[in-house]
Amino acid sequence: MTSCNNCEFFNPVPKDADDYEAGKGDCVTEKADEKGRYWLSRPVFEGSASCKSYSKR
């Protein structure tokens, strides 16, 4: 089973951030539509099961 920790979209939350928790990060994916590019971010933990956007580092 793959986990978020091994995904290229996983970005760990810095220790000095207000919402820091050990192992917590953000899954940031780039999307595009007719208006342009944008990024979606959702909180995840590094041990979480990977989602359909998983891409190995």
**What is residue 30's predicted lDDT score, i.e. its pLDDT?**
94
Can you tell me the distance from the alpha carbon of 30 to that of 41, in angstroms, rounded to the nearest whole number? 9
Residue type, 56: K
Per-residue pLDDT tens digits for 10-30: 999 999 999 899 999 999 999
pLDDT-derived band at 51 (thresholds 50, 70, 90) equals confident
The residues, any chain, with a CB within 8 Å of residue 36's CB and separated by 6 or more, are none
Each domain of the chain, given as residue ranges in start order, spans 4-45
Q: What percent of the chain has pLDDT over 90?
A: 65
CB distance 31 to 37 below 8 Å? yes
The residues, any chain, with a CB within 8 Å of residue 48's CB and separated by 6 or more, are 3, 4
pTM of the model: 0.78
Is the confidence at residue 43, as pLDDT, over 90? Answer: yes
